[in-house]
Amino acid sequence: MTDSDNNTRFFHASATSRRRRNEIRKIKNSRGEWCSEKRSVRAALLEHFQGIFTSEHPREDFMEMVVNAIQPAVTTEMNDRLNQPFTVERVKIATFNMYPLNHLVQMAAERRNDIQGIAISRTAPRISHLLFADDTIIFGKANEAIVHELKSILDIYGQASGQRINLDKSSIVISPNVEDHQRHQIADILGVQLIARHDKYLGLPAVVGKSRRELFQSLRDRMWSRIEGWESRLLSQAGKGVLIKSVLQSIPIYVMSCFQLLKTFIHELESMMANFWWHSMGTRRIHWIAWKELCQPNDRGGLGFQQLEPFNIALLAKQGWTLLTRPHNLVG
């Protein structure tokens, strides 16, 4: 009892399997050479991480440009003045104090095709960019000149901040209205991969089509990959219960907080968990108790598992409450 699971057959089998899986037998260094000796492997790892955590010092003129673009903090006195009610006199003073050439600078950039943006109506100004807390959206036409201008902006940012864009992990989606050869040309200029669409963003589908079952198939695959790795292990019923509650039932939580899953798909996920609970070492066994009964609380004779369908509705209630209380918010 004192050692708990630390001295069982399952513990030693798991430790041996983990040791074999995590063992590094050989590694390729930055020069493309394979290293198999411990000393050379250690040196290759050290060289790799030293290169990752070391960056070139940005040029002083670029750093000065970035610092000058950062506005100073507003003091309490300035904040009180800014929060004063509007008056005709204050509006008149602000209007006549505007620099008269500000609009001409933007007009000149638009005429040079440096800034084009998109038009949302005939009377509204064109939108060239939107800035959020951690996202920047730049609007422009899909042509070579605009792409070169965008690449120049990214290069200047990289030189000024010391941060570099990982082109291997970057991709671009271009409207199908653009000709095929032009799309490939734009991708080549930016040096990124051209894809048909972004499948996922923050773990959620970026585009929701007609077949929601195929859309959330990745949830089933993730759950099955977990179960498949556990089935060959010597797990007790208590260990299976912990894995179901802490791992399997937590996999779809984020998706269920944004989308309502199909009942048939939820039944499929629950069937996978029920099979994992009753089966042993890949052998099929009878389900002596229905999954719904196992989801009852412990004081009612159940095991405290979660029913996914009502849990899905409860998670979506948060989105409903946000729409009712803050209907003008774009994001809940």
User: What is the full per-residue pLDDT of the chain (332 aa) written as tens digits?
Assistant: 455 556 666 677 778 878 888 888 888 888 888 988 888 888 888 888 887 776 555 566 767 777 777 777 777 888 888 888 888 888 888 777 776 666 666 666 666 666 666 777 777 777 776 776 667 777 777 778 888 888 888 888 888 888 888 888 888 888 788 888 888 888 898 888 888 766 666 666 666 666 666 667 878 888 888 888 877 667 778 888 888 999 999 988 888 888 888 898 999 999 999 988 888 655 677 888 888 888 988 888 888 898 999 999 999 998 888 888 887 765 54
Is there a domain that residue 106 lies in?
A: yes
Q: Residue 311: what pLDDT? A: 92
Is there a domain that residue 114 lies in?
A: yes
Is there a domain that residue 92 lies in?
A: yes
Pairing of strands 27-28, 34-35: antiparallel
- Same domain membership, residue 87 and residue 195: yes
CA–CA dist 233, 219 (Å, integer): 22
The answer to whether the Cα torsion of 69, 75, 81, 84 is positive or negative is positive
Give me the residues paired with residue 34 across strands. 28
DSSP 8-class letter at 130: E
pTM for this predicted structure: 0.49
Quick check: 312 and 266 in contact, CB under 8 A?
yes
Is there a domain that residue 62 lies in?
A: no
- Same domain membership, residue 149 and residue 238: no
- Same domain membership, residue 85 and residue 107: yes
Is there a domain that residue 220 lies in?
A: yes
Domain closes at, from 200, 221, 236: 200
Supply the range of the domain harboring residue 309: 212-325
Domain closes at, from 167, 200, 233: 200
Overall domain count for the chain: 2
